[in-house]
Every structure is written in C-alpha cells, then in structure tokens.
Homo-oligomer: A and B are copies of this chain.
Amino acid sequence: MSQIDLHGVFPPITTPFIDGKVAHDKLGSNIEKWSKTGLKGIVVLGSNGEYVYLSEEEKRKVLETAIKAAPKDMFVIAGTGCESTEETIKLTDDCAKLGAHAALVITPHYYGGKMSDSALIKHFTVVADNSSIPILLYNVPKFTYINVTAGVVSVLSQHPNILGIKESSGNVNLLGQYINNVSENFKVMVGTAGVLFGGLSIGCVGGILALANVAPEQCVTIFDLVNESKFEAAKNLQLKMIPVNNAVTAIYGVPGLKAAMDMLGYFGGEPRLPLLPCSEKEKSEIRGILQTAELL
C-alpha cells in the first residue's frame, strides 16, 4: 500500500490568508518555490497550517490546491486528525479521495486524562482500519499535553496501514525508544529542526520540520550531510539553524513563521485570530535572527 517515501525533509506548510480568506494563489506559488529546494514533499493541514482554524470545506480546498500545485515527484501528506474518531475517519477518507499520499493524525487530546494507552490504540487502529491511505501518527505534546509512549507506538507499528510517526517534542531519547520498539517498516520522523541531526543520529528516516518553510535548503543539506557522515559540517549547520528554528517555533510560533516567510520571498501573511500577528518589534527581532543565520 505505502508508496510514499519518507526519507527526506517535509515542511508542514502554513496556510496563507488574505483578508481572512484562504489565499489559494499564494499557497500555489509558495509550493512552486518550495518544489525547487530538494524537499521530499509537503504536509498540509498540520499545526503550522492552522488546521484548527479551518472549516472542513476549507481543509478540502487547501488540500486540492496543494495537490494541484505540487510536482508529481513531491509527496503530499494531509493532517486529518480531529478530536472524534468518526470525524477523523471521514476527513481522512475525503483527503484520500482528493489524492493525499498519506494522512498525519494527531493524538486526540481534549479529554487528556482519559486518553489512556488503550484509548489511543483504539482510536488509531479504527482510523487506520478505515483509511485507504497510510496513516502517520503525530506526537506533539507542546500542543496536546499528551506524550505517546513507546509501548503504544510499538503496538500500532504492527498495523499494516500505520506507516510511521512524526515526533515533535524533540526528545531524542524518546525517538530512540520508538525506534527500538517498532516493526521493521515503521518510520520514525523527527518533528522539529532543532534536533534534526540528533534525530537522524538515532535512526530517524527524515524530518517534518516547521523550519523547512523558511530554510528548506538548509534542512535538506543537514539531512544530506548526515547521510554522507560529514559530521563536522552537519553539526555546524545544525547549530546555525537552532536560533532560527527556535524563533519560528517556540518563541514566535506560527505568526513568527509567517513573518519570516514574508522576509524570505514566500507569502506568509497574518494568522487567523485568536493568534495575533507579530508586532513590528517582533518582526525586527526575527529579521535580526535571520540575518545572523545568513538567511537574509
């Protein structure tokens, strides 16, 4: 079933808005630009895509545009996780029909105290059973306050339609625990560029990285250098990217990522409320960080 190749770098792309509406042309032109940077594919409708602010119809439209804009050799993964199992199944099915190569499914998290190992295993199993495209688990405790254990990942890795996991906490030890416990074909992907080298050092096959929205070439280069065992060069580029990655994730979040995109020739624009756009002061700080990293 799984024809998607995860060995490489994927940006979880932002969703551009103009006057509060999805700007499909900007989405298309961003993807065209990204397609020339060595990326393996893109993830739409992820956390950096403000998926929680999109209606179901908007989600489908964004995916349609992305699939149309992406060249044939780029893979398109769609974020399809919802709080309810049933809604997740439905959205995954919609996205499969539209041509997504795989679905990235976040852990449900609202009733966090009840999201036991059993509940998570049940949820992902039922979703995978009902999906015609491969499923990627998505662990992102920063947003969900849930941390999927190696035990859960081990069980789910046996499912023929669960292909891998994106782990975004940046906990390299946890990545290693996953890798130690999963079935042979299951792929572990590092979910934050701050530990791209760290994640690859422990056996991750690729990365889904917010930073790759603004520094795709650098992410791809780190990936390549590690695969060529060019330790010192990989380390130096990794260190150089850490402040940029922190800026567009931990410090300034999605608004900062979009502001950085605007500075680097992509269309970023403003996030939807309640996310506030970056202030001028914040933009100036981001500009400084990009300059120090020689991205500007």
Which A residues fall within an 8 A CB radius of B? 20, 47, 52-53, 55, 83-87, 108, 110-116, 118-120, 122-123, 126, 142-143, 145, 170-173, 176-177, 179-180, 192, 194-195, 197-198, 201-203, 226, 229, 231, 234-235, 238-239, 242-243, 245-246, 250, 253-255, 272-276
- Chain B residues closer than 8 Å to A120, beta-carbon distance: 274
Which interface residue of A142, A198, A254 has the most chain B CB atoms within 10 A?
Answer: A198
8 shortest A-B CB distances, which residue pairs?
Answer: A173-B194, A85-B273, A123-B274, A198-B198, A53-B84, A172-B198, A52-B83, A176-B242
CA distance A123 to B24 in the complex (A): 26
Q: Closest approach, in angstroms, between the C-beta of A36 and any C-beta of chain B?
A: 28
CA distance A168 to B176 in the complex (A): 17
* Chain B residue nearest in CB terms to A254: B111
Copies in the complex: 4
Evaluate contact between B111 and A202: CB separation under 8 angstroms: no
Evaluate contact between B242 and A173: CB separation under 8 angstroms: yes
8 new A-B contacts, CB < 8 A, other than A170-B172, A180-B243, are A83-B274, A111-B254, A114-B254, A114-B275, A122-B276, A126-B273, A173-B245, A198-B198
- Chain B residues closer than 8 Å to A172, beta-carbon distance: 170, 172, 194-195, 198
Evaluate contact between B86 and A272: CB separation under 8 angstroms: yes
CA distance A46 to B235 in the complex (A): 30
> In the complex, which of the residues B108, B113, B238 contacts A202, with contact meaning CB atoms closer than 8 Å?
B238
With A111-B143, A171-B171: A235-B273 Cβ-Cβ less than 8 Å: no
Evaluate contact between B84 and A52: CB separation under 8 angstroms: yes
Q: Closest approach, in angstroms, between the C-beta of A26 and any C-beta of chain B?
A: 19
Q: Closest approach, in angstroms, between the C-beta of A120 and any C-beta of chain B?
A: 7
- Chain B residues closer than 8 Å to A275, beta-carbon distance: 111, 114, 119
- Chain B residues closer than 8 Å to A20, beta-carbon distance: 86
> In the complex, which of the residues B47, B115, B142 contacts A274, with contact meaning CB atoms closer than 8 Å?
B115
Q: List 21 A-B contacts (CB under 8 A).
A: A47-B111, A52-B110, A53-B83, A55-B87, A85-B272, A86-B272, A111-B275, A112-B143, A113-B250, A119-B275, A122-B274, A170-B173, A173-B195, A173-B246, A176-B194, A176-B242, A177-B242, A197-B201, A198-B198, A201-B201, A226-B231
Evaluate contact between B229 and A114: CB separation under 8 angstroms: no
* Chain B residue nearest in CB terms to A107: B274
- Chain B residues closer than 8 Å to A253, beta-carbon distance: 111, 113-114
Evaluate contact between A274 and B87: CB separation under 8 angstroms: no
* Chain B residue nearest in CB terms to A85: B273
Evaluate contact between A202 and B192: CB separation under 8 angstroms: no
Q: Closest approach, in angstroms, between the C-beta of A130 and any C-beta of chain B?
A: 12
- Chain B residues closer than 8 Å to A242, beta-carbon distance: 173, 176-177, 180
CA distance A73 to B61 in the complex (A): 45
- Chain B residues closer than 8 Å to A123, beta-carbon distance: 273-274
